Amino acid sequence: MKQRSYIGLGSNLGDSLQILSDAVYKLTSLGDVRVSKLYHSAPMGPQDQPHFHNAVVELYTTLEPLQLLDQLQAFEQQAGRVRLRHWGERTLDLDLLLYADQEIEHERLKVPHAGIMLRDFVLIPLLDLAPDLTLKGQLLRDLPVVRNSELNVLADCPWIQEPTV
């Protein structure tokens, strides 16, 4: 049975638009997808790095959560993932944000994703896809981080480029 999941996408190294487009294309191999707008955000960690391109994908998949995580990590590696430092530069970052209505506490995976309720670069694109989404009894669009966001839209849908893969 297909389950709805949400995947956060981020990149700030290389041709970020093409890297994220290729990632979305690969995600279509796992199930049906819808894509948020594309955003530009300041880095959350060290400020001496490029700004990020961010989006969220809604994915309907038959994969179980850990299988999905394995695929996301494989896609990151295929994209030549570089992670130089904690909260630093990244070629590609794919985060499993939500999986159905499940709460998962596993040594490899925490769902909902840690910090999801504090990050506008995750919440705003997530709300593009699910404007009435609630989490832990909280309507996400009413969170202060959403109402006070200064996130910049880079592109409306569709922003996906032809895949290079």
Q: Is 81 a catalytic residue?
A: yes
Domain definitions of the chain by residue range: 3-155
Superfamily of domain 3-155: 7,8-Dihydro-6-hydroxymethylpterin-pyrophosphokinase HPPK (3.30.70.560)
Place of tokens 């850990």: 66
What confidence tens digit (pLDDT) does each residue in 128-159 have?
Answer: 999 999 998 999 999 999 999 989 999 987 88
Q: Pick the closest to residue 92 from 79, 105, 101 (CA basis).
A: 79
Q: Is 95 a catalytic residue?
A: yes
Judge whether 5 and 96 are in contact, CB under 8 Å: yes
Q: Is 93 a catalytic residue?
A: yes
Q: Model's pTM, two decimal places? A: 0.94
Active-site residue, selected from the candidate residues 4, 15, 34, 81: 81
What confidence tens digit (pLDDT) does each residue in 13-65 have?
Answer: 999 999 999 999 999 999 999 999 999 999 988 888 999 999 999 999 999 99
